[in-house]
Amino acid sequence: MKRIFLAISMLCVACFCRADEGMWLLQLMQQQHVIDQMKAQGFRLDALDVYNPDAPSLKDVVGLFGGGCTAEIVSSEGLLLTNHHCGYSFIQRYSSLEHDYLTDGFWAKSREEEMKCPGLTFQMVDKIIDVTPVVEDSIQSGKTPEEKTFTQPFLNTLALEQMKAHGITLTADKEPVAGKPLISGRALPYYAGNKYYLLVYKTYTDVRMVAAPPSSVGKFGGETDNWMWPRHTCDFSMFRIYGENGKPLQTDKHLVISLKGVEEGDYAMIMGFPGSTFRYLTASEVANRMRAQNNPRIKVREARQAVLKEEMRKSDAIRIQYASKYASSSNYWKNSIGMNKAIVDNKVIEGKKQQETRFAAFARQCNNQAYFQVVQQIDEKMKQLYQPTFNMMVVREVISGIEFFREGMNLMYDKKEKPDYQKVYERIHNKDYNHDVDRKVAKQLLPLFRQLMAGQELPTYFQLIDTKFKGNTDAFVDYVYDKSVFANEKSFAKFQKKPSDKAFAKDPLCVVGASLKDFYLKVSADYTAKAERLDLLHKTYVRGLCEMYAPTPKAPDANLTLRMTYGNVKAYDPRDGVHYEHYTTLRGVMEKEDATNPEFVVPAKLKELYAKKDFGRYTMKNGELPVCFLTTNDITGGNSGSPVMNGNGELIGIAFDGNWESLSGDINFDNNLQRCIAVDIRYVLFILDKLGNCGHLVNEMTISE
């Protein structure tokens, strides 16, 4: 145990070395001397201005938006800024043929027009508590096997016990008081389980939509420009937190907005909730990620998206229904393509192998047999896990892609109690579901499922396809989509007149659902059995790497918790003879305009403002209007909507994307190529003010000129 505690302490030792890599834990930034390095580059605040558990600090203006993005508070009345793509599902939810906010934008001209968004939350970190000693004592005493410390039951129990021990009242499981935040806690492993922290959250549940530009502005460039630079997207939307008595939340702290602009080399920092990184993977694990995860994801999503794109093109109603689903699917489809390419182009696997060679020498030097064996043990696990991982990915992607089948499987998980048939029907036929579109998706994905799983066991309903339907997948799909009692209102009404469990069990959708459930459980069990003790191998490897690199500090992998990253505004050279400037302007929007391509349509009013050069106080010194800029900050999914701040902690932009050349960055950070793409806050305010006529929202903010 002494060796474990020594390794844990070494995680917090640091030296002064310039590096933009690092999603740093706020509570360790002083201890790891990250704050000192930030100050050397242009940070002009103190450690307590970033994280103070007892007084307002930057942690109190940044929160987890909707469970998967970041947003920041920009006024004393709870006004939030995040990305357009983060608010997209809510913009889409309220859109219709009569009120097409996706196309026209949404601009609340008064508080009364701000729209409630049921289910949308804003979650802020209140305190961060080191509970590593508690976990280690539990392991040392034999109370908890080490491998159990990674499991959700252990982490949930730990969170509850430690909140009580620190006098924190849990309210998340109680009846909430209207307008008051819910108090909850999460205990999580960091550094692959070498450290554990309890995060105490305040969650606000009344969050309302305030403003969103039309998609021609907020999604300008669409799928074509996604993950690309140069970029010309004004990727923002605005919401507001409401507190007690249905009034806007009065906040103790909010971000000041700077209109001073950015120059090459300027200091920039980002606070947010990065979702997941995998910087400590071995070479074999990177190869497995490419072949067993990214490849099947690309193929399944590509097939589904082709159907959705064609159906959305033919109908505005279907376009609105499937806009959010398509965007969500497309985002990580393209990310997976780019990641595989970047892993090869940036020689990531070769770099991992070089690190493993150094690690083996380090293990020999310190005579540590566990370190010397761990990479080989992980490699053996990867050989065993390739097929189970591939199978899991195919099953998940296909099931999530065919909504009718997915609901059939959900029905089987709900069978502990008699299902409410009416609720089941309403859940399936929600406003964003089209039965015929989903039927076409199924006809594309089922043959692909069989093809990808060639030589592997298939769900039992494929036997039905081969026997009763003589291998005709389309006929089988039509049978399920036409004959299920949940297929349409007429069939369901007939079933409801005389519902029976026997008829329910024999329903084609339920037969498919039962087959999928059994198959998924079998595939999942195979993966779990072969992945046994992989977490402990990673714990050993990460501890060893941190010792090897000491005294240089290493940040833990992202896990959707609050982090800080620092860097600079910076251009880059992706290839020989190619140079990308650090910013773009509205002129580039006009140059990209293509009225025949819905991804590059420019609103008439925006063209008029450009022609008149009516940029107001948001213009640059050269008379142009800034649109986006680049920084070297270390971000990933989950950072979408994160505030980009200058050395004074003032808002200068909103992070929304990364660049194509560095899409292997979740696995290996490249200081030369890695860039964060941010929308310039001046462009955001220009669109809000001049295009949306929402000067009242601009006036609500605190602006530094």
Per-residue pLDDT reduced to its tens digit, 258-285: 999 999 999 999 999 999 999 999 999 9
**289 plus 265 within the same structural domain:** no
The band of 592, judged by pLDDT with boundaries at 50, 70 and 90, is very high
Say if 471 falls within a structural domain. Answer: yes
Residue with the bigger pLDDT between 330 and 411: it is 330
Contacts of 357 (CB under 8 A, 6+ apart): none
CATH number assigned to the domain comprising residue 73 = 2.40.10.120
Confidence category of residue 178, pLDDT binned at 50, 70, 90: low
**What's the whole-number mean pLDDT along residues 460-474?**
96
Pair (222, 321) in one structural domain? no
Residue 551 within a domain: no
Q: What is the mean pLDDT of residues 438-453?
A: 98
CA 437 to chain centre: 27
Determine, yes or no, domain membership for 344: yes
Q: How many Å is the maximal CA-CA distance in the chain?
A: 77
Asked if 290 and 270 sit in the same domain, the reply is: no
What does the block give as tokens for 311?
């159906």
- In a shared domain, residues 266 and 319: no
- The whole-number pLDDT of residue 2 equals 41
Domain that holds residue 43: 1-121+205-274+557-705
Domain-located, residue 145: no
Same domain, yes or no: 270 and 312: no
At residue 245, the pLDDT reads 85
Under the banding of pLDDT at 50, 70 and 90, the label for residue 374 is very high
Domain match, 383 and 349 both: yes
Residues 589 and 633 in one domain: yes
- Secondary element (H or E) of residue 627: strand 626-631
Task: Please give the average per-residue pLDDT across 136-154, as a whole number.
Answer: 96
Average confidence (pLDDT) over 545-553: 93
Per the residue annotation, which of 184, 329, 515, 640 is the catalytic one? Answer: 640
Q: What is the pLDDT of residue 18?
A: 46
Q: Among the options 20, 60, 225, 235, which is catalytic? A: 235
Question: Who has greater pLDDT, 172 or 629?
Answer: 629
Q: What is the pLDDT of residues 64-94, one digit of tens each?
A: 999 999 999 999 999 999 999 999 999 999 9
Does the annotation mark 235 as catalytic? yes
> In this structure, is residue 197 part of a structural domain?
no
Single-letter amino acid, residue 339: M
Is 549 part of any domain? no
Overall number of domains in the chain: 2
Residues 235 and 339 in one domain: no
Q: How many Å apart are CA 507 and CA 408, to the nearest integer? A: 10
Query: What is the percent of the chain where pLDDT is above 70?
Result: 96
Q: What are the tokens at 197?
A: 């922290």
Average pLDDT, the chain: 94
pLDDT value for 421: 87
640 labelled catalytic: yes
Q: Among residues 536, 571, 596, which one ends one of the domains?
A: 536
Domain C-terminal end among 536, 568, 595: 536
Which two three-digit tokens encode residue 88?
Answer: 């997209």
Do 447 and 574 share a domain, yes or no?
A: no
As a whole number, mean pLDDT of residues 30-51 equals 94
Q: What is the pLDDT of residue 222?
A: 95
Per-residue pLDDT band at 442 (split at 50, 70, 90): very high
Of 506, 536, 566, the position where a domain reaches its end is 536
Residue in 271, 201, 228 with CA at minimum distance from that of residue 22: 271
Is the model's pLDDT at 4 over the cut of 50? no
Query: What is the per-residue burial (b if ≥16 Cβ within 10 Å, else e) of 651-689?
Result: bbbbbbbbbbbbbbbbbbbbeebbbbbbbbbbbbbbbbb
Share of residues in the chain with pLDDT > 90 (%): 90
pLDDT in tens, 55-65: 999 999 999 99
Tell me: do 307 and 445 sit in the same domain.
Answer: yes
Q: Same domain, yes or no, for 610 and 474?
A: no
pLDDT higher than 60, residue 634: yes
pTM for the structure as a whole: 0.94
- Mean pLDDT across the stretch 416-425? 81
How far is the C-alpha of 57 from the C-alpha of 45, rounded, in Å? 11
Same domain, 216 and 68: yes
Classify the phi-psi angles of 98: left when phi > 0, otherwise alpha if psi is within -120 to 50, otherwise beta. Answer: alpha
The active-site residue, picked from 33, 84, 85, 538, is: 85
Residue 477, in any domain of the structure? yes
- Distance between CA atoms of 539 and 534, rounded to whole angstroms? 9
Residue 542 lies in a domain: no
Q: Is 50 exceeded by the pLDDT of residue 1?
A: no
Question: Residue 13's pLDDT band (boundaries 50, 70, 90)?
Answer: very low
The predicted-structure confidence for 421-433, as pLDDT tens digits, reads as follows 899 899 999 999 9
Within 10 angstroms of residue 274's Cβ, the number of other Cβ atoms is 25
Structure confidence at residue 174 (pLDDT): 52
